[in-house]
Structure 1
Amino acid sequence: MNTRVAMSDLFSREEITALTSKSDLHGGWAVLSTWAVIGGTFATVAMSWEYLPAWGKLLLCAAALVILAGRQLALAILMHDASHQSLFKTKWLNDTLTDWLCARPIWNDLHKYRVHHMRHHSKTSTVDDPDVSLVAGFPTTKKSLMRKFIRDLSGVTGFKFAVGRVLMDIEKMEWTVSNDRRWISQQGRYWSDYPKTFLKNSAGAIVTNAALFSALWAAGHPKLYALWILAYLTPFPLFLRVRSMAEHAGMPTSNSALTNTRTTKAGYLARALVAPIHVNYHKEHHLMATVPYFKLPKMHQMLRERGHVSEPPTYWQVLNELSNRVD
């Protein structure tokens, strides 16, 4: 098993300091630009709706779902970066603002996610990795992968996730973002405890989604909120799956991020849908998780120039590699 690599073997002390320096400006831009795209998508649908024929409206809604799901993933990545204290330099912006503007609108919790995710980093690719179930069973067949994608796009995966989230928020199941289900003993609980617990744990998601619905209502288009829900239940799970597959699926069990984690080349389409906020530089992230998103490309370039990493595959190449099993 490969041993964990020391950063001092890859970078000088000065380079590490430069790479890990954080910026409130860059963090703010990432959050604001993500919400600007979300707002712009809603505005485009609202302004174009009455001028389009039925087929045009259908295409517009499909495009809106794809764009919104891509930005929902961006919110998840911003939460992920904040869990490493790397999104903002200022702690309140990193922990509180990001929780309310990024985690809560997609029914998540920055502080619970941080505890879960730190275990993933310390136990990557081992049996104790809490995310190992997300990438188990690869490589698989193309038919199997297509069935997974169909479940995602049809809403089956999203519905299961929503049910799981309810079970977690009523504290019937342990909190997780993986596929593992660990039940909590309900001994001594009363039926009245469940709605109280749900409101306690889901209050942030309810408040932030109510705010989004209210904004659309005030703009005269409350029905557009349905696009946010549909995006969350359909393309969003697909984008999450592709992102997770690209990061760790099919990689060998190892203690080194150089071998147990994959960086993937992302073009404009991939960055819009499955690789926002430079999350495709995942090998670099696992090597030094405190490097902020906007410095990951520089870190990758430095590693390439020194021969520590090779040219990364594209997302299409990764999907082909992970679906090449023949029955």
Structure 2
Amino acid sequence: MAAAARVRPKDYFTPEEWAPLSRRSSWKGPALVAHAWAVILAAALMAVVWPITIPLAVMIIGARQLGLAILMHDAAHGALHPNLKVNDWVGNHLTTGDLMAYRPYHLGHHKYAQQAEDPDLVLSAPFPITRTSLRRKIVRDLTGQTYYKLKWSGLVDRIRNRRPDEPLWPILKDAVVRRKRFFLGMLITVALTAPLGAWWVWPVLWLLPQATWLPMVTRLRNIAEHALVAKDEPDPLRHARTTRANWLERALLAPYWVNYHCEHHMFMHVPCYNLPKVRHHLQRKGVTERMLSAPGYVHVLKLASGKPERVAVAA
């Protein structure tokens, strides 16, 4: 079981250059978490005051839900705070993911990036696909089908397929325990908003973005990062793709510098807010010409959906 090839910081940076790039700030990571929640609250308030903006709010909130997952991902690398206990507490309690379950899985992805043992290889393996297939996937995302399949279909199947003499309550209790963050967030939000006549805030301005926009932007981000990267790729500068993102894409698709994914795979412990600086240094040294990069998300999606329709197998 061969691990993916890695790069060493000293191959590209002097100690004086590397020290500030790898340094973890004691305030920037938590500030980004606070920023994500502030944007979510601001978008929700906008939608409550001006209901016509609900579609825009759903997109903004869904992107920040992804942003919280990205910051949890930084915590998985110990990059959210220099104190590991603080790093883990913030990553596990103030984002939307289960850091302790995610960390070993994700570090396995880095260890075997694009190799046969990569647990995320299934996400990049099917590409290229046809445009029709990509449209079907996006429709499934935006209609909640992907969310249901990933989050709830297993529970529904478990209930349907239980033995006739098996009681329902233990299954439901286990489901609630496993999804305690989901239900606790629902109860708190409804308790705070219902007395104000805004009981609909949680289902419309949290669950709806989580079930629609979040799955879609997560899919598009995954495509940009690893689609069309060769299996067993030997070059560590081409295990992942960096995609240029404009201001709109950063707001609605690629928050918190997640688009600098090649740099992240090269130097996985660098905090996300330092990745643009890493890119700048590498560009100045002529290294970026060898790295896997794309001029934009539209460009990557065109490549990833470039399989001719006539030879396609329905996905």
Q: What is the TM-score when the length of structure 1 is the normalising length?
A: 0.83
| Contact 1:239-1:274 within 8 A present in 2 as well | yes
Q: CA deviation at 1:91?
A: 2.6
Corresponding residue for residue 251 of structure 2: 272
Aligned length: 297
Segments of structure 1 that go 5 or more residues without pairing to the other structure are 50-56, 173-188
Corresponding residue for residue 21 of structure 1: 23
Corresponding residue for residue 185 of structure 1: none
Give me the whole-angstrom Cα distance separating, in 2, the residues matched to 1:285 and 1:219: 44
| Contact 2:36-2:64 within 8 A present in 1 as well | yes
Task: Name which of 279, 288, 291 aligns with 1:300.
Answer: 279
- Please list the CA deviations of residues 231-285 of structure 1 after superposition, one character each: whole Å capped at 9, or x if unmatched: 1111111000000001111012324431121000011111112211100000111
Corresponding residue for residue 205 of structure 1: 182
Residues 263, 164 of structure 1: alpha-carbon distance in 2 compared, 3 angstrom cutoff: farther
| Contact 2:242-2:260 within 8 A present in 1 as well | yes
Corresponding residue for residue 304 of structure 2: 322
Task: Name which of 183, 202, 207 aligns with 1:229.
Answer: 207
Q: CA deviation at 1:165?
A: 6.9
One-letter code aligned to 1:94: N
Corresponding residue for residue 48 of structure 2: 46
Q: What is the TM-score when the length of structure 2 is the normalising length?
A: 0.86
| Contact 2:155-2:175 within 8 A present in 1 as well | yes
Q: CA deviation at 1:166?
A: 4.6
2:144 equivalent to 1:155: yes
2:68 equivalent to 1:86: no
One-letter code aligned to 1:86: A
Give me the whole-angstrom Cα distance separating, in 2, the residues matched to 1:101 and 1:217: 24
The residue correspondences of 1:160-171 to structure 2 (distance < 5 A) are 160-163=149-152, 166=155
Task: Name which of 259, 262, 268 aligns with 1:289.
Answer: 268
Residues 165, 19 of structure 1: alpha-carbon distance in 2 compared, 3 angstrom cutoff: farther
Corresponding residue for residue 34 of structure 1: 36
Give me the whole-angstrom Cα distance separating, in 2, the residues matched to 1:90 and 1:318: 37
2:139 equivalent to 1:137: no
| Contact 1:141-1:324 within 8 A present in 2 as well | yes
Q: CA deviation at 1:193?
A: 4.8
| Contact 2:146-2:215 within 8 A present in 1 as well | yes
> What's the % identity of the aligned pairs?
34
Residues 303, 209 of structure 1: alpha-carbon distance in 2 compared, 3 angstrom cutoff: farther
Q: CA deviation at 1:3?
A: 4.2
Q: CA deviation at 1:209?
A: 3.6
Q: CA deviation at 1:190?
A: 8.2
Give me the whole-angstrom Cα distance separating, in 2, the residues matched to 1:234 and 1:325: 26
Corresponding residue for residue 12 of structure 1: 14
2:111 equivalent to 1:122: yes
Corresponding residue for residue 183 of structure 1: none
- Please list the CA deviations of residues 138-179 of structure 1 after superposition, one character each: whole Å capped at 9, or x if unmatched: 111111111111111111111111225758xx9x9xxxxxxx
Task: Name which of 235, 239, 247 aligns with 2:225.
Answer: 247
Q: CA deviation at 1:89?
A: 2.1
Give me the whole-angstrom Cα distance separating, in 1, the residues matched to 2:42 and 2:196: 13
Q: CA deviation at 1:16?
A: 2.6
Q: CA deviation at 1:220?
A: 4.1
| Contact 1:100-1:208 within 8 A present in 2 as well | no
Residues 300, 218 of structure 1: alpha-carbon distance in 2 compared, 3 angstrom cutoff: farther
One-letter code aligned to 1:206: F
One-letter code aligned to 2:16: E
* Aligned CA-pair RMSD: 2.5
Query: Per the alignment, in what secondary structure is the counterpart of residue 80 of structure 2?
Result: coil
Give me the whole-angstrom Cα distance separating, in 2, the residues matched to 1:271 and 1:101: 21
